[in-house]
Structure 1
Amino acid sequence: MNVALTRIGRDLGGSTSGLQWVIDAYTLMFASLLLFAGNLSDRIGAKRALGWGIAGFLTASIGCAVAPFLGVLIFARVVQGSAAAIMLPASMALIREAYQDPKERAHALGIWAVGGAVAGAVGPVLGGALTTIDWRLVFAINLPVCVVMLVLLRSVQKSAARPTRFDWGGQIAALATLSGLVFGLIEGGSLGFASPVVIGAFAVAAVGLVAFLAIQARIRNPMMPLPLFRPRGMRIALLVGFAFMVGNFGTVFVNSLFLQQHLGMSPLLAGLVFLPSAAFSVCGNMISGTLANRHGARVPIVFGLLTMVMGLVILILTAPLGSPWAVLIGSIFTGAGGSVAMPPVTSVVLASVPAERSGTASAVLNTFRQVGGAVAIAVFGVLIANRTHFVSGAQTSFIVAGAVILVAAVAAIFIRPPVESTAAVA
């Protein structure tokens, strides 16, 4: 998707803020609906929820592939993000159901993460090649993948359902909060942060957040039970998930535009620059579970985050050189570091809650992750919107990402070697 942005802008029109919305329309709905999707997974069973999500993703991908205008593409991305929100917590809940032993689960989660890493390895190059033909193929390629997933899902054992009420008030408040925040950040770059529209968006976000917390504290069946945040490991894991997406998602967005718009590279060549990073990410995911089992979750998380910081330092120092090789090397560190850190973070979350809350806990983690990605795209897009100051804006973006990740690394030091009891949340 990132590699195709420049061609999409050329064919459908749109400024940097328009391209930000192509990314964030998806991410916004993904983040906003994950909590609802976690409850849905618990209520109807993970297998059924995953099937619904795959079918919705397939339909939305068709809409993206045939979109005649940028507005239609953005709307289809909204639907696509909504479907993806249903898929993710359901897939993690299926792993929790299938692997009761923590060590087996750690390896399973590593393999689950390898799926994303392999897609990351293939995606930029395949996306670049497809974009060279027609950027619409970037979405059309999802269709056979979704069909295969639906066929494979038929062989999965039926998941247990747990009756629960949907928190409609909390969902509306969460959507208002994230929509107001992301809209304000993106449009603030073009309209100005003193604009009444932007100020109003931030006001909506603030009111929505207060309302969301109040609703979660008072109702009987909240979508994000506040006791989930009591275990220290859970709180740290959420911070790490947020920081990881700021560093990973945000820098890929900046570097994709840097390579194509600033250096004039083709989509295919830009995709090839990210290939080594994705390959190292596959290796990182494969060894992460072994490191966590030998040394505890803290070691791979801290090590991985500090490796990401090293990569960002390389990008900061070399940005004025305009070298794709420097982007390649810096991306290797950020990609490999993140792939080592994230699987044990997921294990920390799942070990911090009872089994029946695994879907909700997974949704909370991924909500924080996606909020980090959405905020990074919004903020970094503003920083690089001025083409005459693109390099300095990119450097500032990398500095912000590095600072956020460093804070998370320091916090991760305080993860207890034996993760909090699974009975920590009632």
Structure 2
Amino acid sequence: MVGKLAWPPATQPHATGELTMSIRTGKQLALLSSCLAFVIVILDVSVVNVALRSLRVEFAGTIAHLEWVVSGYTLTFAAFLLTAGALGDRFGPRKVFILGFVLFALASLLCGLAGSLTALIACRLLQGLGAALVVPASLAIVNQTFPEKNARSRAIGLWAASGGMALALGPVFGGALISLTGWRAIFFVNVPIALLGSLIAWRCVQDAASTAGRVVDIPGQMLAALALGGFTLALIQVNASGLHSPAVVGGMMVFLLSGAAFVAIEKHMAHPMLPLHLFGNRHFAASSLIGVLVNFAFYGLIFLFSLFFQYAWAYTPLDTGLAFLPMTGSIMAANLLCGKLMVKHGYRTVLTCGIALAALGYLSMLPFVGDGRYADIGIQFIVAGVGIGLAVPAMTNAMVSSTEQRYIGVASGVLNASRQIGGLIGVAAMGLIVGDVTAERFAGGMAPALLWSISALAIGGLVGFLGLRKFEPAVTQTRLAGS
């Protein structure tokens, strides 16, 4: 079945211009639905960070509880991305996309109704599952809708820019909602956005041909979820319970055993969730590692600065959202510019320059995070934001351009999973470095946290410089002609 607006209807238009307009409108609406998906997924990262102090006050939670509110979402998001990509390849991205949107709407409603931190964390896990279904399918929809190489580069830039917009406006919007109505509103606002996106996709996105041979790797999915769950438990409980506590030791044992079993099973599965041979391609492997390192630095520091502003500098949620605006606004602007830069200079150059700018921005914050003022770090936030805004679309192009057409959904899942795992580790690591949400702990913990993030970015830049092609002016059309 063909979407009602995306391709010509049964009755042929009388004028060529009308036909062209119908096709163009359908493509634009398909892109809009994909962008709306990325908006709400990113929104629920940026907005929740602004709400952390409100959650701690209402539920008397510890920093470990706050990490779980952020990382519970990230955990299921990362754990199910690969299966979601394979489901998109198997059944077509449109069906998976709509299912994920509806699930995300339901989970958001339940988050807003949660009566305890335990209930909120459980609903955040469900939200992450919806996000996992939506994101790789949204990129696959962009892929199939824009087969021409330069149009695809621009569309991916807009897709990434929609996430940048959510980052830019989400903290301010969320801070205003929290100040006016309380933290629950930040979840309720997702519901109409998700329902609108699913309706547009149902009407306007083309049904891609399914890959009949692909099957869902249930053992692989279960082991991946166990491995990531054990890893997350160990990382977060180190701060709360100590390195030798049963929770930490048990979590690491689950991670190691499940991880080893996952690799062994994936090597011998006829249709593995994660085809390990893809990592034999250096561009694919490099992009995955860069995704981990960039998100370690970025999301780890977003989590930490959200608490730092509110506890060390006594900012309100709205003040905190406004404090992030220079960084997040520059991310959105750089996302919009990135498509043209990749067409002209190639993704390797854009990626490495972006990572270098992000590292420079964070490095120049070091003298001011103790007794400094916001005016001392505002420009640095802009520089770091421009760097992140250039790096993420370039990283995405590097990944998809190195992958065969039949593995596009899996590639999207791997890239997003690697980024979410990086963010998960970053949040846990920053919580461990600071230890507790007091002004005194922030005074001593911010500088080491920045240094860890700068180191991760430096390694990511080196991996990009050595692991990616010297010049790739546009993504390869034949590899990305469909999903």
TM-score range for the pair, normalised by the shorter chain length: over 0.9
Structure 2 partner of 1:29: 76
Q: Which deviates the most, 19-28 or 171-180? A: 171-180
**In the alignment, which residue of structure 2 is the partner of 1:282?**
332
Whether contact under 8 Å (1:248, 1:334) holds in the other structure is: no
Deviation at 1:343, TM superposition (A): 0.8
Whether the aligned pair in 1 keeps the contact of 2:233 and 2:247 (CA below 8 Å) is no
Is 1:371 equivalent to 2:421 in the alignment?
yes
State the one-letter code of the partner of 2:176. A
Residues 199-348 of structure 1: matches in 2 within 5 Å? 199-348=249-398
Q: Is this contact kept in 1: 2:349–2:471, CA < 8 A?
A: no
Work out the CA distance in 2 between the residues paired with 1:168 and 1:147: 29
Distance (Å, rounded) in 2 between the aligned partners of 1:29 and 1:325: 37
For 1:90, the equivalent position in structure 2 comes to 137
Q: Is the CA contact 1:246–1:372 (under 8 Å) kept in the aligned structure 2?
A: yes
Question: Would you say how many aligned residue pairs link Structure 1 and Structure 2?
Answer: 424
User: Aligned equivalents of 2:109 and 2:56: distance in 1?
Assistant: 19
Looking at structure 1, the residues matched to 382 and 471 of structure 2 have their Cα atoms a distance apart, in angstroms, of 31
Match of 2:198 in 1: 150
TM-score by length of 1: 0.96
Q: How many angstroms apart in 2 are the aligned matches of 1:258 and 1:326? A: 15
Contact 1:106–1:344 (8 Å) recurs in 2: no
Give the match for residue 159 of structure 2: 112
Residue aligning to 1:417: 470
Q: Post-superposition shift, 1:385?
A: 2.0
2-structure distance, mates of 1:86, 1:411? 29
Mapped partners of 1:391, 1:220: distance in 2: 53
Determine helix, strand or coil for the equivalent of 1:321: coil
Give the CA deviation at 1:151. Answer: 2.0
- Amino acid of the structure 2 residue aligned with 1:158: D
Conserved 8 A contact 1:314-1:326: no
Q: 1:71 aligns with which of 108, 118, 124?
A: 118
Shift of 1:145: 0.8
Q: Tell me which amino acid in the other structure corresponds to 2:211.
A: R
Structure 1: how far apart are the matches of 2:144 and 2:227? 32
Across the aligned residues of Structure 1 and Structure 2, the Cα RMSD in angstroms comes to: 1.6
For 2:369, what is the secondary structure of its paired residue? helix
Matches of 2:229 and 2:151, distance apart in 1: 38
For residues 185-205 of structure 1, give each alpha carbon's deviation from its aligned partner in whole angstroms, at most 9, with x where no partner exists.
110101000112211111111
Q: Structure 2: give runs of 5+ residues left out of the alignment.
A: 1-47
Q: Which residue of 1 aligns with 2:58?
A: 11
Counterpart-to-counterpart distance in 2, 1:68 and 1:14: 13
Say whether residues 1:165 and 2:215 are aligned partners: yes
Return the alpha-carbon distance in structure 2 between the equivalents of residues 173 and 335 of structure 1: 36
- Could you tell me how far 1:327 is from its partner in structure 2? 4.2
1:122–1:292: structure 2 CA closer, same or farther, 3 Å change rule?
A: same
Q: Which residue of 1 aligns with 2:39?
A: none
What displacement does 1:157 show?
1.5
8 Å Cα contact 1:89-1:363 kept in structure 2 = yes
Q: Does 1:185 align with 2:239?
A: no
Query: Quick one: distance in 1 between partners of 2:87 and 2:211?
Result: 9
Aligned to 2:444, which of 380, 392, 400?
392
Matched letter for residue 389 of structure 1: R
Contact 2:295 2:422 in 1 (8 A): yes
Question: For the Cα contact (< 8 Å) 2:291–2:415, is it kept in 1?
Answer: yes
Partner of 1:402: 454
Q: Would the aligned equivalents of 1:313 and 1:402 in 2 still touch at CA under 8 Å?
A: yes
8 Å CA contact retained: 1:118, 1:278 = yes
Structure 2 letter corresponding to 1:71: T
Alignment of 1:43-54 (within 5 A): 43-54=90-101
CA distance in 1, matches of 2:418, 2:344: 27
Cα distance in 2 for residues equivalent to 1:391 and 1:228: 44
Q: Deviations over 1:160-218 (max 9, x none)?
A: 21121111111111111111111101101010001122111111111111111111111
Distance 1:260 1:105 in 2: 41
The normalised TM-score by structure 2 is: 0.85
How far has the Cα of 1:270 moved from its partner? 0.8
1:151 alignment partner AA: L
TM-aligned CA deviation for residue 418 of structure 1: 4.8
Q: 2:401 aligns with which of 346, 351, 361?
A: 351
2:148 & 2:395 partners in 1: Cα distance? 17
Q: Whole-Å Cα distance in 2 between the matches of residues 159 and 46 of structure 1?
A: 7
Amino acid at match of 2:374: P
